[in-house]
């Protein structure tokens, strides 16, 4: 999921005018504020052997599967199901934010979802990395650094932890915090595989600022 999210960010989709579209409530974050009759759905999930928490985790996983295929409507429906089951599951807000960027091109609403997610228990390295990337690309490096610092230490997929660390090294360097950028880049350069990311780390470690 992370690679696709980065590709979407690289397109800077939120800087473009959103296409006119009619989106039903179940394909808007939190049903667009429209009240739903949720109890039957919750009961059916529990009857299937899930807890509300594990059901939310499964719904989010399926939501990201749809997101990877650019099936944003089904993705948002799954994220909404997760929100109904466990409104404190941080990954749901990551999903909301990514669809708001990729489909709706609404950066302000996406950022509100990122902020909600990172303040919840169990926020993942991937969530911090995606929000940090968002802040970097909207030219707010000073805001990105503390988010990415949390992502570099957060639990999650190793690839997401590494992505947060790499983005953090770049942000440190661009903010002239060479005493932090240089050791971090040297620490992770051998783990970075993607070509552009590798070149970025190589630029830092071979910079005169990192001599010694």
Q: Where on the phi/psi map is residue 71: left (φ > 0), alpha (ψ -120 to 50), or beta?
A: beta
Residues, the chain: 212
Tokens of 13: 């989709």
Long-range CB pairs of 200-206, under 8 A, 24+ apart, other chains included: 200/166, 200/169, 200/170, 201/166, 201/169, 204/169, 204/170, 204/173
Q: Spell out the per-residue pLDDT of the chain, length 212, in tens.
A: 544 454 445 445 545 555 546 889 999 999 988 888 889 999 999 999 999 999 999 999 999 999 999 999 999 999 999 999 999 999 999 999 999 999 999 999 999 999 999 999 999 999 999 999 999 999 999 999 999 999 999 999 999 999 999 999 999 999 999 999 999 999 999 999 999 999 999 999 999 999 86
Q: List, in order of start, the domains of the chain with CATH numbers.
A: 1-123 (no CATH), 124-207 (1.25.40)
- Identify whether the C-beta of residue 163 lies closer than 8 Å to the C-beta of residue 185: no
- Work out the end-to-end distance of the chain between its first and last CA atoms, rounded to an integer number of angstroms: 38
């Amino acid at each position: 999921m992370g690679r696709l999210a980065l590709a979407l960010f690289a397109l800077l989709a939120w800087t473009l005018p959103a296409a006119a579209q009619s989106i039903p409530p179940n394909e808007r974050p939190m049903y667009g504020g429209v009240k739903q009759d949720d109890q039957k759905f919750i009961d059916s999930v529990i009857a299937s052997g899930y807890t509300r928490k594990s059901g939310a985790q499964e719904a989010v996983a399926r939501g990201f599967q749809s997101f990877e295929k650019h099936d944003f409507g089904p993705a948002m429906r799954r994220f909404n199901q997760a929100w109904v089951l466990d409104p404190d599951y941080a990954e749901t807000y990551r999903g909301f934010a990514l669809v708001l960027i990729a489909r709706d091109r609404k950066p302000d609403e996406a950022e509100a979802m990122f902020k909600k997610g990172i303040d919840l228990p169990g926020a993942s390295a991937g969530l911090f990395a995606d929000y940090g990337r968002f802040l970097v690309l909207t030219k707010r490096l000073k805001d990105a650094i503390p988010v990415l610092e949390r992502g570099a230490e957060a639990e999650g997929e190793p690839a997401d932890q590494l992505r947060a660390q790499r983005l953090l090294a770049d942000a440190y360097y661009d903010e002239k915090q060479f005493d932090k950028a240089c050791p971090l880049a040297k620490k992770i350069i051998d783990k970075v595989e993607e070509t552009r990311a590798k070149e970025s780390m190589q630029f830092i470690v071979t910079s005169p600022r990192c001599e010694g």
